[in-house]
C-alpha cells in the first residue's frame, strides 16, 4: 500500500481554496503525514515550492516517496513543528512562507499500523509515540504515573467522566501484572467503566486512548507558541491554516488566533487596555470550517475536524 492509500487528507478542497497554491511562493506543511495536502498544493501550484515536516520518521519516508516526482520543489525534514523557526532558518533560503498548514493529530496510517499501539482494537505493544526515537511510551506512563495524575490526564485530555474509576482499576491491575499491550488496557478500561454493552455509543476505551496519546506526545504543549512563531514566519498577507480534531486543541487555536487578531482580553471597564493586544492577523474564518456530510460519509475520520485560517497583515 502506498502513502496515498494510507490517509485521506481532510478538508482538502477548503485548504486549497484558502491557501491559493496557484499564487506560488513557499508553502510549509508542518504535519506532512502521508503528504496528501502537500501533493494537492504542489499539483495545483506549478510555481509553488514546499517544505514538509513530520516528527514521525516512518511517515516521512512514505511521503518522500510519494512526492519524489516534484524533485527540487519539495524538501522534507524530520522535525517537530514547534521547531518551525529553526527549520525555516535551515531550509527556506531566507524566503518567508506564503502559506503554512498544520493538520494536527494522528494519520490513518499511524492508527492502522497495529504495532504503533494507537488502536485499542488490535493487539500491540502499548506505545503511541509519534516519534519512536525518543520519549516515554503509553506503557511507561501507565506503569509509572500515580493514580491521581493518571485520573487527571484521563479527565483533562480525554474528557473522561469515569477517570477516577478507570485510574484506580489501572493501578490495581498493574500491581498484578505489567500493562504492556493495547488490548489488555482496553479490557481493563472497558471493565472499569461499567457501561453495559447495549449503551456503549463508542468503545469505552476511546477517551482513555485519546488522553494517553495526547500525554505521550505532549500534543498541547507549545501549541500557542507554535502558532505565534508560524504567524511571525509568514510573509505579509501570508496565510496560516490549522485543522484541529478535538476540542482542547481547537480551543487553543481559537484563543491564540483571536489574541493575534488584536482581540483585547482585559476585564470590561478598564480605562485603558493593559493586555497589550496587537493586531497581527485577520481571521478569514469567523467560525471554523467543518467537513461536509458527503466528506464525513466518505471519510468518517474527518468528522471532528475544524479548520481555522488567519492572514498576516502588514505592520
Ligand atoms: C493528520 S496527520 C497529517 C496528514 C497529512 N495532512 C496528509 O494529508 O497526509 C498528522 C501528522 O502530524 C504529525 N505530527 C503530530 N505532531 C507533530 C509535531 N509536533 N511535529 C511534527 N509533526 C507532528 C503526525 O506524525 C502525523 O503524521
Ligand 1 first shell, C-beta below 6 A:
7, 9, 31, 33-37, 53-56, 59, 80-82, 103, 105-107, 130
Contact yes or no for 110/130 (Cβ under 8 A): yes
Domain C-terminal end among 155, 186, 216: 216
Contact yes or no for 309/284 (Cβ under 8 A): yes
Contact yes or no for 48/39 (Cβ under 8 A): no
Number of domains in the chain: 2
Pairwise CA distance, residues 98 & 35, whole Å: 18
Digit-by-digit pLDDT tens for the chain (315 residues) are 788 888 899 999 999 999 999 999 999 999 999 999 999 999 999 999 999 999 999 999 999 999 999 999 999 999 999 999 999 999 999 999 999 999 998 988 888 888 899 988 889 999 999 999 999 999 999 999 999 999 999 999 999 999 999 999 999 999 999 999 999 999 999 999 887 777 777 889 999 999 999 999 999 999 999 999 999 999 999 999 999 999 999 999 999 999 999 988 888 888 888 877 889 999 999 999 999 999 999 999 999 999 999 999 976
Q: Which domain holds residue 148?
A: 116-216
State the CATH number of the domain containing residue 61: 3.40.50.150
Closest ligand 1 atom, residue 245 Cα:
1
Residues 101 and 19 in one domain: yes
- pTM for the model: 0.94
Residue with cell 467543518: 290
State the CATH number of the domain containing residue 150: 1.10.150.170
Residues 78 and 226 in one domain: yes
For ligand 1, atom 4, name the residue with the nearest CA. 33
For ligand 1, atom 8, name the residue with the nearest CA. 36
Residue 111 forms part of a structural domain: no
Residues 224 and 197 in one domain: no
Domain C-terminal end among 216, 232, 251: 216
Closest ligand 1 atom, residue 130 Cα:
25
Domain C-terminal end among 194, 216, 238: 216
Residues 14 and 66 in one domain: yes
Q: How far is the CA of 298 from the centre of ligand 1 (A)?
A: 21
The 10s digit of each residue's pLDDT in 177-232 is 999 999 999 999 999 988 777 777 788 999 999 999 999 999 999 999 999 999 99
Contact yes or no for 141/199 (Cβ under 8 A): no
Mutation probe of ligand 1 site: the residue of 2, 10, 130, 295 with most atoms within 8 A of C-beta: 130
State whether residue 287 is helix, strand or coil.
coil
Residue 270 forms part of a structural domain: yes
Residue 110 forms part of a structural domain: no
SS3 of 240-278: EEEEECCHHHHHHHHHHHHHHECCCCCCCCCCCCCCCCC
The three cell numbers locating residue 12 = 482538502
Pairwise CA distance, residues 41 & 49, whole Å: 9
Amino acid at each position: 500500500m502506498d502513502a496515498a492509500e494510507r490517509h485521506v487528507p481532510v478538508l482538502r478542497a477548503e485548504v486549497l481554496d484558502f491557501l491559493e497554491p496557484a499564487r506560488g511562493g513557499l508553502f510549509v506543511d508542518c504535519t506532512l503525514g502521508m503528504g496528501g495536502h502537500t501533493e494537492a498544493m504542489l499539483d495545483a501550484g506549478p510555481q509553488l515550492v514546499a517544505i514538509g515536516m513530520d516528527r514521525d520518521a516512518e511517515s516521512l519516508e512514505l511521503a518522500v516517496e510519494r512526492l519524489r516526482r516534484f524533485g527540487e520543489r519539495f524538501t522534507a525534514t524530520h522535525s517537530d513543528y514547534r521547531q518551525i523557526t529553526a527549520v525555516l532558518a535551515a531550509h527556506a533560503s531566507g524566503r518567508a512562507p506564503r502559506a503554512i498548514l498544520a493538520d494536527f493529530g494522528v494519520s490513518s496510517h499511524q492508527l492502522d499500523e497495529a504495532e504503533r499501539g494507537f488502536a485499542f482494537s488490535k493487539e500491540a505493544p502499548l506505545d503511541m509515540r509519534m516519534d519512536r526515537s525518543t520519549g516515554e511510551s503509553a506503557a511507561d506512563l501507565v506503569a509509572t504515573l500515580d493514580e491521581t495524575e493518571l485520573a487527571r490526564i484521563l479527565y483533562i485530555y480525554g474528557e473522561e467522566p469515569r477517570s477516577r474509576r478507570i485510574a484506580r482499576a489501572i493501578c490495581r491491575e498493574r500491581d498484578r501484572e505489567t500493562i504492556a499491550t493495547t488490548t489488555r488496557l482496553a479490557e481493563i478500561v472497558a471493565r472499569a467503566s461499567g457501561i453495559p454493552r447495549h449503551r456503549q455509543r463508542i468503545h469505552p476505551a476511546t477517551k482513555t486512548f485519546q488522553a494517553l496519546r495526547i500525554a505521550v506526545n505532549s500534543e498541547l504543549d507549545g501549541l500557542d507558541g507554535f502558532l505565534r512563531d508560524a504567524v511571525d514566519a509568514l510573509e505579509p498577507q501570508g496565510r496560516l491554516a490549522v485543522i484541529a480534531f478535538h476540542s482542547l486543541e481547537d480551543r487553543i487555536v481559537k484563543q491564540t488566533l483571536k489574541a493575534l487578531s488584536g482581540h483585547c482580553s482585559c476585564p470590561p471597564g478598564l480605562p485603558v487596555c493593559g493586555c497589550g493586544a496587537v493586531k497581527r492577523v485577520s481571521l478569514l474564518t469567523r467560525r471554523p470550517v467543518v467537513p461536509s456530510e458527503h466528506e464525513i460519509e466518505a471519510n468518517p475520520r474527518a468528522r471532528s475536524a475544524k479548520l481555522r485560517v488567519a492572514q498576516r497583515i502588514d505592520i
